[in-house]
Amino acid sequence: MGVTIAAAKLTELRTADVVALPVTAEPAIGFAAEVAARIAGLEIPSGIDAKWATKVNFSASAGETFALRSLSGPTLLLIGIGAGDSEGWRKFGAAAVRSASAKQAVGIVVPAANADLQEAAATGALLATYKFTTHKSNKAESVAKIVVACSSKTGLDKAVAAARATADAVSFAKDLINEPPGHLSPTELATRAAAKLKGVGTSTKVEVWEKARIQKERLGGLLGVAQGSIEPPRLVKATYTPAKSTAKTPHIVLVGKGVTFDSGGLSLKPPGSMMRMKTDMSGAAIVLGVVAACGSLGIKVKVTAFAPMTENMPSGTAIRPSDVLTARNGKTMEVLNTDAEGRLILADALCLGTELKPTVMIDVATLTGAQVVALGDIAAAFATTKELSDALFQAGEREGEPNWPMPLPAQFRSHIDSDIADMKNTGKSGEAGSISAALFLKEFVGDTQWAHLDIAGPSDAAGDSGYLTRGGTAFSLRTILRYLRDL
């Protein structure tokens, strides 16, 4: 990200090009920020009140913008914060950035003594600046600077730093997700992730497993999917250890699906479904992005991420529908549809995680089209305990990345019964496809407390809106960071 962000006093807003003043919508239109503008010495026209708002139809919903031209100094914007929750403040920050032009400095006024809301506004502003321009001759520029200001700077630097760390992890993940598959083989994905993780400090360690190691570790699902591609598979293992770590420190394992391109394999996808399949490594980018941010955010638990990486391609060496693969834990998987490849590679990675006996294990995957049908842009969340399900639900609500709890009904295990192996990689045709996929994964977690986030729907956005940007979204990255911060 080219943009810089700084915490500042209100008076420093005078040098910005654009200044965003927050307006509440609930319980009633409120112009608390007008005071801030006066303190900063900015000219604000008189008569800006609730009556005026009604007259001009300004309802102060989150991100709603009304530009007031000031005669001298910065352009003033009134921007709604809706109900004033973190989502409202994120949209406020994003709208401020979107209302400014390239290379401008944008000031945003945030509430004093509320680190959470300060951080939300700064995060929204930073996220909205994201653009994937790697392959554009004309690299559209974003705003140059975001100035986050309030009447008391106490705690503001820390809030801004947290926003920066979060947005940086999201940008890192989005850059990987948006990269075309011809530029991002499993090898390249692993190399870029390792380079990033090596740069974040001594608390973070990274290993890249090449094919020989993957064979030695008996990752039969990953090897099976990879055998159709010219590109060899990789597995990235990243570990974050907090400063005061003891044997009692909770340990969270994260697992992310890293299919750099999913053609479907011999069970080839139709062209329309294949177009977005470069994003099928979102899970890997997300869990590695999370680990990259742990140090800066002062996460207090141990975190280990496993990201299996491969392409899913059709060829003379590809696995065939009806082939049987053996996962790391010895369980056999009949591959009836080579397009249900995610669960095959996750099986091995979940075994690796389970062996570490973690407190909690969470996997993230663009796993099923059925999730898109059922929930669209809301992620499907499967969990073995109510406690974990609730924690992820709340973290998702807080971050504006909603997920919805889904069942793991034991009686549906029959959907993945195989005639010749321990299980098959397809469910019952046209029935509960996300659930049968989750039940397949559950075969590899033993009695570990585990959750599975199916993000097929929300992983990709059709357009820019608020703090959401077109293309890969890295959806659930901020949810997982929030979950880790709250532990």
Chain residues binding ligand BES by CB under 6 A are: 262, 280, 337, 339-342, 366-370, 372, 426, 433, 456
* Nearest CB to Zn ion, comparing residues 339 and 443: 339
Establish whether 343 is a catalytic residue.
Answer: yes
Instruction: State yes or no: residue 231 binds Zn ion (CB under 5 A).
Output: no
Whole-angstrom Cα distance, residue 39 to residue 368? 53
**What is the DSSP annotation of 333-385?**
EEES-TT--HHHHHHHHHHHHHHT--SEEEEEE---HHHHHHHTTSEEEEESS
368 binds, among ligand BES, Zn ion, Mn ion, none (CB under 5 to 8 A by kind): ligand BES
| Total residues binding Mn ion (CB under 5 A) | 3
Q: Give the distance, in angstroms, between the CA of residue 146 and the centroid of all CA atoms in the same chain.
A: 22
Each residue 324-363 as x (binds Zn ion by CB under 5 A) or -, in order, gives ------------------x---------------------
Asked if residue 311 binds Zn ion (CB under 5 A), the reply is no
Sign of the dihedral through C-alpha 110, 113, 118, 120: negative
Which of the residues 9, 153, 218, 269 is marked catalytic?
Answer: 269
Pairing status of strand 65-68 against strand 75-80: antiparallel
- Burial of 296 (C-beta count, 10 Å sphere; 0-12/13-18/19+): middle
Judge residue 352's burial from the number of C-beta atoms within 10 Å of its C-beta, 0-12 exposed, 13-18 middle, 19 or more buried. buried
What is the rounded CA–CA span in Å between residue 81 and residue 60? 6
The option from Zn ion, Mn ion, ligand BES, none interacting with 456 (CB < 5 to 8 A, set by class) reads: ligand BES
CA Rg value for the chain:
24
Site string for Zn ion, 273-292 (x = CB under 5 A): -------x------------
Find the shortest distance in angstroms from Cβ 436 to ligand BES: 8
- Element at 149 (helix H, strand E): strand 145-150
Q: How far is the CB of 211 from Zn ion (least distance, A)?
A: 20
Shortest Cβ distance from residue 363 to Zn ion (Å)? Answer: 13
Task: Report in angstroms how near the CB of residue 473 gets to Mn ion at its nearest.
Answer: 19
Site string for Mn ion, 322-361 (x = CB under 5 A): -----------------x-x--------------------
What span, in angstroms and rounded, lies between the C-alpha atoms of 225 and 325? 9
Q: Which is nearer to Mn ion, 125 or 266 (CB)?
A: 266
Active-site pick, 131, 343, 398, 424 = 343
Residue 454 near Mn ion by CB under 5 A: no
If phi over 0 gives left and psi between -120 and 50 gives alpha, with beta otherwise, what is residue 113? left
Q: Binding residues for Mn ion, per CB under 5 A?
A: 262, 339, 341
Which residues carry out catalysis? Answer: 269, 343
Q: Binding residues for Zn ion, per CB under 5 A?
A: 259, 262, 280, 342
